[in-house]
Amino acid sequence: MSCTRVNETRTQANHVVTAGTKEWADTNVNFIDGCENNCRYCYARKIKARFDQVKISDWSTMKLVESRLTKPIGHRRGRIMFPTVHDLVPRFLTETLYILGRMLAARNSVLVTTKPHLDVITEICTKFAGQKDQIQFRFTITSMDPVKLAYWEPGAPSFPTRMGSLEHAFNRGFKTSISIEPCLDEDPRVLVATLRPFVTESIWLGIMNYCGEHPFNSRKTIIKWLNWFQDDPLIRFKDAVGKKLARENDKIAAKEIESVVLEHSGYVQTTLPIYTMHAEKKKR
Ligand code: SF4
């Protein structure tokens, strides 16, 4: 999964809008330190290293945190995101099934967020087939290009493995959604079209945050995304998309940008035509 900063803003329409993992869930559950995916853009690694909780060089060694396995999990208000600062890997399958089972037994709604391994997803679908109404999968699939995936997410499963996991969960009748965050392609239309038949809920598009390396996700690219997908009910934009545009073009009112993103997040009505008009004026 992609781990991003958490904050909260309030719109004109008085809707509470959240960012980072809080855009998707109210609380989270994790039980491992480190993550073998070792994504170059990993924000969790950066934060933990900043607070001396982990050495950058140790991040890819995953360590079970026993105390989190036994920590009580009661019924929580809102949805739980599981996990947010590591991934679900075959080596810790037993623990994954155990802790997910405890969350479900407490009647929680769980967003299982992962760069999926087929073995893990197959076991979850089998073991919790009777509780599928409490689970939504959110698979992070940032590109189909093996070269880009190997560079940015060196330890994560390949595109075919992630795609196979998506198809499996969909065919077993589970709720499925996708995070294309950070989007590694300038043009994600083929990726979206490939994933779409197996997605029951939503496809989230997001940009690379806090990583100066990435050449894409420019303002120009984001405007293309907004125009390609403005009428697509399946597509949602992470709020960082609007923030980036607002940061880079102070002539466009931040509230208008926010409305574009929020409309695609299911909150308020769009002002995209107004936004596009401003953008065109700026170009001229
Ligand atoms: S999958 Fe793991 S390494 Fe990649 S961003 Fe998430 S926590 Fe970091």
**pLDDT tens digits, one per residue of 171-200:** 999 999 999 999 999 999 999 999 999 999
Q: CA 264, CA 266: separation in Å to the nearest integer?
A: 5
Probe residue for ligand 1, chosen from 87, 117, 138, 209 as the CB with the greatest number of ligand atoms within 8 Å? 87
Would the CB of 117 count as within 6 Å of ligand 1? no
Closest CA to 36 of 82, 88, 97: 88
Ligand 1 mean position, distance from CA 37 (Å):
6
Where do the domains of the chain lie, and which CATH numbers do they carry?
8-217 (3.20.20), 238-284 (no CATH)
Nearest CA to ligand 1 atom 8: 42
Nearest CA to ligand 1 atom 4: 39
Atom number in ligand 1 closest to CA 37? 3
Would the CB of 32 count as within 6 Å of ligand 1? no
pLDDT at 276: 39
Probe residue for ligand 1, chosen from 33, 86, 114, 138 as the CB with the greatest number of ligand atoms within 8 Å? 86
Q: Considering Cα of 202, then 211, then 162, then 93, what sign does the dihedral take?
A: negative
Q: CA 14, CA 258: separation in Å to the nearest integer?
A: 13
Q: CA 210, CA 47: separation in Å to the nearest integer?
A: 11
To which residue do tokens 């998707």 refer? 24
Which bin fits 266, alpha (ψ -120 to 50), beta or left (φ > 0)? left
In tens, the pLDDT along 24-33 reads 999 999 999 9
pLDDT at 239: 83
Half-sphere exposure (Cβ direction) of 197: Cα atoms closer than 13 Å: 8
Please list, residue by residue across 92-107, b when 16 or more beta carbons sit within 10 angstroms of its beta carbon and e when fewer do: bbebbbebbebbbeee
Helices 272-283 and 219-229 cross at an angle (nearest 10°) of 140
Would the CB of 108 count as within 6 Å of ligand 1? no
Would the CB of 33 count as within 6 Å of ligand 1? no
Q: CA 182, CA 159: separation in Å to the nearest integer?
A: 15
The residue type found at 178 is I
Would the CB of 125 count as within 6 Å of ligand 1? no
In tens, the pLDDT along 55-93 reads 889 999 999 999 999 999 999 999 999 999 999 999 999
Q: CA 50, CA 46: separation in Å to the nearest integer?
A: 6
270-273's contacts with Cβ under 8 Å and 24+ in sequence apart are: 270/230, 272/226, 272/230
pLDDT at 106: 98
Ligand 1 mean position, distance from CA 115 (Å):
9
> At CA 56, angle to CA 54 and CA 59, rounded to 5?
70
Atom number in ligand 1 closest to CA 83? 7
Under-50 pLDDT residues of the chain: 2-18, 250-255, 266-284
Query: Global pTM?
Result: 0.83
What is the H or E stretch that residue 111 is in? strand 109-114
Would the CB of 87 count as within 6 Å of ligand 1? yes
pLDDT at 61: 96
